[in-house]
Structure 1
Amino acid sequence: MFSLAAPHAKGKSAEDNIFAANNRAIALAEKIGNDQVINGTVGSILDEDGNLVVLDVVKNAFKELTPKEICAYAPIQGYRKFLDDCIDQCFGESRPEGYIDACSTPGGTGVLHHVIHNYSEVGDEVLITDWHWGAYDSLIDDNNRKVRSFSFLTEDGHFNTSAFRDAVTDILSRQDNIVIILNGIANNPTGYCMSVDEWQAAVDVLKEATKGGDKNAILVPDVAYLDYSGEKQECRKFFKVFGGLPKNILVVCAYTLSKGFTMYGQRMGAMIGITSDKDVIKEFVDINQYSSRATWSNCNSAAQNAMIRICEDPEKIKELDADRAQYFRLIQERAAIFMKEAKEEGVKFVPYISGFFITIPVTNSQAVCDDLEKQHVFLVPLKKGIRLAVCSVSKAKMEGLAHKLALAIKVAGAKQ
């Protein structure tokens, strides 16, 4: 094929199996009726009637915006009130000790792009878990870095500290910096949540691996699903372990408005830096602002101003918290239905605690999903299993789904 692309870009294409499966599900639902289709692909909250959930407090905030608040350019770093609100909303009562600042980004994806681009070198390995959101691979590859993964969970279903330590030690034997993306809260795709002790164990590994001072660690907690991971303050306690770390360990939280504020398509988030050193936090803002100017320039004004309007009113915060808690309970109820029936059917799943997804480890995942689609059930095939979006499948449709999955596994000759 004739190509004009530069060598580093040749052969790349964005074929997303999640959106492809979602599009097939939508097309079939339009043809035979939504009630005849189970769409477990989309990572957005749908209500029991299959409609996209947008929190009322968010809808009202957008309605109140002036044309200037919607259309004016935002500062490159982001509106100061917005950044402060992101920090407060992210940490709650568990703000870690240290210097903290933030830069606006287009969703959590923008955070990951900047950290990979600014804290690793071309050719470096970037460490992620084996169970991870597929876009991590593209973000790392497109920046001309290499994907390195470790086994996220032990056989008995806990954070695999030993595998994490081995990977960190190995990478730092060849690199000065290590970037780690750790989606340890309501993990996509498994729904596993690391405990405070497990986060502490991960931090202890980094402290030991960098104690000589000649190596640096940049830890990126991807907290996209934070607001649907548990009780508001309880699920945030792990943030405290990021306080008072050595200056050669930087923590950058990937915070997004996509889920917690149901602003998926507004593409708004923030990278929140935590460090014990004032020079590191200044550099953090400087270099990431520069990269923002060199990529997307500035971010969505309307979404930032909508968040500001919500967060400046204590009553609106109460409404926001109540709505989040309501949908957290709904997702938990849906997950409970599936897990109960899966156990009855003998279908194994990765330990689920909270979040938008449950993962079924299985071989021949594509064949299993192909058979399910014949039954008008749409799920997402992964390298090592199948992802079910419990956030988008109603309780009524969840009933019997494990049975269909068990049959599809047998038809495909797959193994768990």
Structure 2
Amino acid sequence: MAEDIANSFLNDFARTKQGNDTIFSCWARYQEAVAQGNDAVNGTIGALLENDGSLAINQTVDEFVRNSPPIEIAAYAPLKGLPEFLDFAVTLTLGDAREELESIGVCHTATASPGGSGALYLAAANYADRGSKVLLRNRHWGPYDGFLAGCGLGIATYPLLNESSGLDLESLKSSLDELAKSQGKVMSWLNDPAHNPTGLSLSSQERMSVLHAFSNAAMANEEVGFTLLIDAAYHMYAKEPHGWAETITDALHDGLEWPANLLITFAISISKSHTVYGLRAGALVTIHPDQSVVDRITTVMGVTGRQTWSASSRLAQYSVAKIHSNSESGAAWSDEKNRLTQLLKERRELFIESCKKFNVPINPTHDGFFAWLEHEDP
């Protein structure tokens, strides 16, 4: 009866929301088990821990956050984000390839968001028509489903791996073609490098194949808008953190045609790269050869943010931009980030070695916070 009364206030989509987030539910079970004295391992947390189980925090970032002026803590940020932060977000996304991409005519824009999740929302709310489907790999981060459903979007999938444990390029191509037959816009989310939850990263050859697949699909369907979103939440902990920017640069130098109806966008997470999870900082960085396209997107994303969360948190934006405005503090951040990357590398190597020793089958895993083994009853 009480549920019926509650539902009388809720719209149809709200009524579909049931239960707690799976990851946070499992985390609560872990905490309860530890409190009861059980020998439990926390396999759920989407953050990096030190070997003693404490949260790994980049000490350079912590110092700058704590020493920020009161005005930078209390004041609103501009609706699109602090200009210095937005400039840094582009550099964090494109790395050393930024200058070369700019020189060959690739334009860019960035919008600050509350974490990488906010960047994903900006894309879901603007780059696909309600009622259409967004293309994902069949093994993906679970909250994608909710982000998309909340924007009135469905999901189409293709296999994470082919029979050779590599990119299933043919399935990607056929999926793009199939969606283009029934939709005016086709968007795909590709979590790479350091895929959550497997730790899988595409090779440079696979990245190049993906770019050509999208370029060819766009040229074959000129009336359809294609968006390739790279969810780069964990890219700074990968062997090739800026592999996508480098591949795009190489492809353009090799003569890849960039159709006007193809957009490439990156969702980045300052939560991960700078270990400030609770400060909720991220950005959506979009690139395209036409400046007028980029200008229009800048406006749309700023308005979307205003209509959703108003302005993103200023403190993280200020602190991160301040760190990287100085070569000495930027190098200190990099040293600490490299330490954490090495920690992850050592753990992954030990995990893979142990799985081989005990004949435990796992998905390919290369970078980032995660590794994954398939099981019918997890």
TM-score class, shorter: over 0.9
Contact 1:195–1:238 (Cα < 8 Å) also in 2: no
2:282 corresponds to which of 269, 272, 276: 269
1:197 corresponds to which of 202, 205, 230: 205
Cα deviation for residue 231 of structure 1 reads 5.5
2:307 corresponds to which of 276, 281, 294: 294
- Specify the alignment match of 2:156 in structure 1: 148
Cα deviation for residue 54 of structure 1 reads 0.9
CA gap 1:59/1:307 in 2 versus in 1, 3 angstroms: same
- Specify the alignment match of 1:333 in structure 2: 346
- Aligned equivalents of 1:20, 1:54: Cα separation in 2: 24
TM-score by length of 1: 0.84
- Whether 1:7 and 2:12 are equivalent positions in the alignment is yes
Render the CA deviation track for 1:234-284: whole Å, top value 9, x for unaligned.
686335368672221111100110111001111100100100111210111
- Aligned equivalents of 1:29, 1:282: Cα separation in 2: 52
SS of the residue corresponding to residue 198 of structure 2 reads coil
Cα deviation for residue 13 of structure 1 reads 3.1
- Specify the alignment match of 1:230 in structure 2: 239
- Specify the alignment match of 2:229 in structure 1: 220
Cα deviation for residue 321 of structure 1 reads 1.2
TM-score by length of 2: 0.92
- Aligned equivalents of 2:313, 2:324: Cα separation in 1: 17
- Specify the alignment match of 1:53 in structure 2: 56
Contact 1:69–1:305 (Cα < 8 Å) also in 2: yes
Q: List aligned pairs for 1:1-400, cutoff 5 A.
A: 1-2=3-4, 3=7, 4-13=9-18, 15-32=20-37, 36-95=39-98, 96-97=101-102, 98-211=106-219, 212-230=221-239, 237-240=246-249, 245-365=258-378
- Aligned equivalents of 1:232, 1:350: Cα separation in 2: 21
- Aligned equivalents of 1:17, 1:188: Cα separation in 2: 15
CA gap 1:257/1:202 in 2 versus in 1, 3 angstroms: same
Contact 1:111–1:270 (Cα < 8 Å) also in 2: yes
Render the CA deviation track for 1:152-200: whole Å, top value 9, x for unaligned.
2112111111110011110001011101100021100111111222112
Contact 2:204–2:243 (Cα < 8 Å) also in 1: no
Provide runs of 4+ in structure 1 moved above 6 Å: none
CA gap 1:158/1:185 in 2 versus in 1, 3 angstroms: same
Render the CA deviation track for 1:87-109: whole Å, top value 9, x for unaligned.
11221112234111101111111
How much identity, in percent, do the aligned residues show? 27
CA gap 1:145/1:241 in 2 versus in 1, 3 angstroms: farther
Render the CA deviation track for 1:346-394: whole Å, top value 9, x for unaligned.
11000011111111012122xxxxxxxxxxxxxxxxxxxxxxxxxxxxx
SS of the residue corresponding to residue 274 of structure 1 reads strand
SS of the residue corresponding to residue 335 of structure 1 reads helix
CA gap 1:233/1:7 in 2 versus in 1, 3 angstroms: closer
Cα deviation for residue 58 of structure 1 reads 0.5
CA gap 1:56/1:76 in 2 versus in 1, 3 angstroms: same
SS of the residue corresponding to residue 361 of structure 1 reads coil
**Gaps spanning 5+ residues in structure 2: where?**
none
SS of the residue corresponding to residue 246 of structure 2 reads helix
Contact 1:213–1:248 (Cα < 8 Å) also in 2: yes
Amino acid at match of 1:6: N
Contact 2:114–2:282 (Cα < 8 Å) also in 1: yes
Cα deviation for residue 233 of structure 1 reads 5.9
Contact 2:116–2:267 (Cα < 8 Å) also in 1: yes
SS of the residue corresponding to residue 173 of structure 1 reads helix
SS of the residue corresponding to residue 268 of structure 2 reads strand
Higher mean C-alpha displacement, 77-86 vs 235-244 = 235-244
CA gap 1:217/1:350 in 2 versus in 1, 3 angstroms: same
- Aligned equivalents of 1:270, 1:335: Cα separation in 2: 28
- Aligned equivalents of 1:76, 1:152: Cα separation in 2: 37
SS of the residue corresponding to residue 178 of structure 1 reads strand
Contact 2:86–2:110 (Cα < 8 Å) also in 1: yes
SS of the residue corresponding to residue 360 of structure 1 reads coil
CA gap 1:344/1:262 in 2 versus in 1, 3 angstroms: same
**Gaps spanning 5+ residues in structure 1: where?**
366-416
Contact 1:65–1:306 (Cα < 8 Å) also in 2: yes
Contact 1:342–1:348 (Cα < 8 Å) also in 2: yes
Amino acid at match of 2:139: W
CA gap 1:27/1:221 in 2 versus in 1, 3 angstroms: same
SS of the residue corresponding to residue 42 of structure 1 reads coil
- Aligned equivalents of 2:244, 2:263: Cα separation in 1: 21
RMSD between aligned residues: 1.7
